[in-house]
Amino acid sequence: MVETKVLKIKDLYNDSLEYPCEVLKSGNLVAFPTETVYGLGALATNPEAVRKIFEVKGRPQDNPLIVHLSSIDQIKDFAFMEERYMKVINKLTPGPITFVLKKKDNIPYEVTAGLDTVGIRIPAHPIAQRLARCAGPIAAPSANLSGRPSPTDAKSVIEDLNGLVDCIIDAGESAFGIESTIVDLTKDKPLILRPGPITIEELNDIFAEFGGVDYYEPKKEERPIAPGMKYRHYAPEKPIRLVNREELANLVNTNVLILCTLETQKDILQGAENIYIIGEYSRPYTIAQNLYRSLRYIDKSPYLEAVIEKFPEEGLFFSIMNRLKKAVSKK
């Protein structure tokens, strides 16, 4: 056990980050906010430090980490980037998107789980950017224990990692609430490995001159391209399942917790007490923002099981459903 210092941020641009920066430079771990979810960071060029991430999270060894940089000019220092993609990367960066590129030698295999490629992201969150600027490239997965829902506020990080890391930076709630979109740019055509805040529809537009993007669905038997895809993720302890909107009415005032949108509650579940609102159907980003907090709430609630409203798989709902399907999967 270590003593975890929680550093509460009031001013994103001016509060001192000297302490977390020193922790990273000395080879230890810092949990920090990004605009997607909170990350658990180690200096990417320090293999010892990177190994600590896997130990602390209980993360499977074959699941690579994303490297966070402070600016786009740094990408060439750590990875090979095709000239043809420069314009598009500029457009999408900084932001909630990760590019998989051929790695350079200064990225240790501890970061990439033995792969020759590395996931690179330039987060838009000022704290994440400032931290990477002062400490160096930061390898970071989500700051949860493996298998648990990702943390979107410092409270959730503390639930999982108090006593296990030196510093947790608290800068409020994450804006997007789900992990970055991952695009593999090492293939002939851009390949989406994980849907996220930037939707497939948007990427098809942005990558139009390259014929749009492909979407990668891992098949059961093969080793997935994005190794993290095969694990059960984001899961509460209690049993949960996805249920069509119309069928939720059968569960009113039973001992099953219903996670649904505000619209569904108003339209068909009025008077139900066993309800937890996860956001607004007409504003899907509110559902993404609340998704992991809602999944964490299931285990805290008095109910023995939970059901979640099923959504049509398009736009941001496609990314939301990707996470929900993993949360309910038995694996």
Residues near ligand AMP (CB under 6 A): 63-64, 66, 100, 112, 115, 117-119, 141-142, 179, 182, 193, 225-228
43: β partners? 138
E strand residue ranges, 110-215: 117-121, 138-140, 167-170, 181-184, 191-194, 214-215
For ligand AMP, give the closer residue by CB, 22 or 173: 173
Backbone torsions φ then ψ of 15, nearest 5 degrees: -60, 145
Give which of Mg ion, ligand AMP, none residue 41 binds (C-beta under 5 to 8 Å, depending on kind). none
From the list ligand AMP, Mg ion, none, which binds 265 (C-beta under 5 to 8 Å, kind-based)?
none
First CA to last CA across the chain, in angstroms? 30
When the beta carbons of 137 and 257 are compared against ligand AMP, the nearer one is: 137
Find out whether 36 and 176 touch, Cβ atoms under 8 Å: yes
On whether the CB atoms of residues 37 and 179 are closer than 8 A, the answer is yes
Q: Which residues contact 83 (CB under 8 A, 6 or more apart)?
A: none
Output the smallest distance, CB 276 to ligand AMP, in A: 24
**Window 118 to 147, contacts with Mg ion (CB under 5 A):** 141-142
Give buried/exposed letters for 59-85 (b at 16+ CB in 10 A, else e): beeebbbbbbbbebebbeebbebeeeb
Enclosing H/E stretch for 79: strand 79-80
Which one, 66 or 131, has the nearer CB to ligand AMP? 66
Nearer to Mg ion, 37 or 206 (CB): 37
Binding-residue pattern over the window 20 to 49 for Mg ion, x denoting contact by CB under 5 A: ------------------------------
The distance of closest approach from Cβ of residue 91 to ligand AMP in the complex, given in angstroms and rounded to an integer, is 21
Instruction: Decide which of ligand AMP, Mg ion, none touches 206; Cβ closer than 5 to 8 Å per partner kind.
Output: none
Which residues of this protein are in contact with Mg ion, per CB under 5 A?
141-142
